[in-house]
């Protein structure tokens, strides 16, 4: 490997660069955008969620699926990494919607709902899905209770730095959004 690296270095080397890669300084890190990293983190969570959904439902990665994305809480749709999600999840059609999609499974990523339409041939365990959602709801409600307990602690509120308090308030807001989405999904599944 070092020989290949040296050969490539010699081919791209300019007069201002060191004579050999072995004695050259490592490049210095440039500034980076925290916003882009945050957007990619979200895209990564979407990809993982869709792949987990495929695995749970026995849908082969070779089969294309459609994906409908519903942003909640008046969030704006961010299409920065849509092409990556489409490629890595083998999605034939990705659309943004404002309403719940009927006859579709939904997957939550934070407060965003991802709808994957059901094929009539799919064998779906509605009771199992309801049980999973109820378990997730119970967890989210417990998480919310722990955040509210922390925020109601006068000592914490008095001594914690403002950025820590802001993070806890954001967690509370996100948790409330997720709970609302799960409740909607439960009522939708119970109607079927």
Same domain, 112 and 98: yes
From 122, 152, 176, give the residue that closes a domain: 122
Whether the pLDDT of residue 98 is over 70: the answer is yes
Q: How many residues does the chain have?
A: 192
What pairs with residue 125 in β-bridges?
A: none
Q: Find the CATH number of the domain harbouring 156.
A: 1.10.287
Residue 6 lies in a domain: no
DSSP 80: T
| Inter-residue contact 72 to 108 (CB < 8 Å) | no
- Domain total of the chain: 2
What's the mean per-residue pLDDT of the chain?
86
107 pLDDT more than 80: yes
Which residues does residue 104 pair with via DSSP β-bridges, in sequence order? 117
Task: Give dist(CA 170, CA 168) in Å, integer.
Answer: 5
Q: How many CB atoms lie within 10 A of CB 120?
A: 5
pLDDT at 184 (0 to 100): 79
Confidence check: pLDDT of 121 > 70: no
Burial class (CB in 10 A: 0-12, 13-18, 19+), 189: middle
Q: What are phi and psi of 135, to 5 degrees?
A: -65, -45
Q: In this structure, are 114 and 140 located in the same domain?
A: no
Are residue 77 and residue 145 in the same domain, yes or no? no
Whether pTM exceeds 0.75: no
Per DSSP bridges, beta strands 112-117 and 104-109 are antiparallel
What is the span of the domain harbouring residue 114?
Answer: 33-122
CATH number of the domain that 107 lies in?
A: 3.30.2320.20
**Among candidate residues 88, 122, 156, the one where a domain is terminated:** 122
Do 104 and 179 belong together in one domain? no
50 falls in which pLDDT band (50, 70, 90)? Answer: very high
More confident residue, 22 or 75: 22
154 lies in some domain = yes
Looking at the fold, whether 140 and 94 belong to one and the same domain comes out as no
Contact in structure between 180 and 108 (CB atoms under 8 Å): no
Strand, coil or helix: 66: strand
Pairing of strands 91-97, 65-70: parallel
């Amino acid at each position: 490997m070092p020989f290949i690296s040296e050969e490539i270095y010699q081919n791209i080397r300019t007069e201002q660069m060191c004579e050999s890669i072995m004695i050259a300084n490592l490049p210095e890190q440039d500034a980076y955008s925290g916003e882009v990293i945050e957007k990619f983190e979200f895209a990564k969570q979407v990809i993982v969620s869709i792949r987990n959904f495929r695995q749970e439902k026995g849908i082969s990665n070779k089969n294309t699926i459609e994906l409908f994305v519903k942003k909640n809480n008046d969030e704006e749709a961010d299409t920065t990494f849509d092409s990556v999600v489409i490629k890595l999840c083998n999605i034939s059609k990705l659309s943004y919607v404002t309403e719940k999609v009927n006859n579709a499974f939904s997957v939550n990523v934070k407060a965003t709902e991802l709808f994957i339409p059901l094929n009539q041939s799919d064998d779906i365990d509605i009771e199992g899905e309801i049980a999973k959602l109820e378990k997730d709801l119970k967890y989210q409600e417990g998480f919310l209770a722990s955040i509210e307990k922390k925020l109601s602690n006068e000592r914490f509120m008095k001594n914690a730095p403002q950025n820590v308090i802001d993070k806890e308030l954001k967690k509370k807001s996100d948790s409330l959004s997720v709970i609302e989405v799960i409740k909607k999904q439960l009522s939708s599944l119970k109607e079927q």
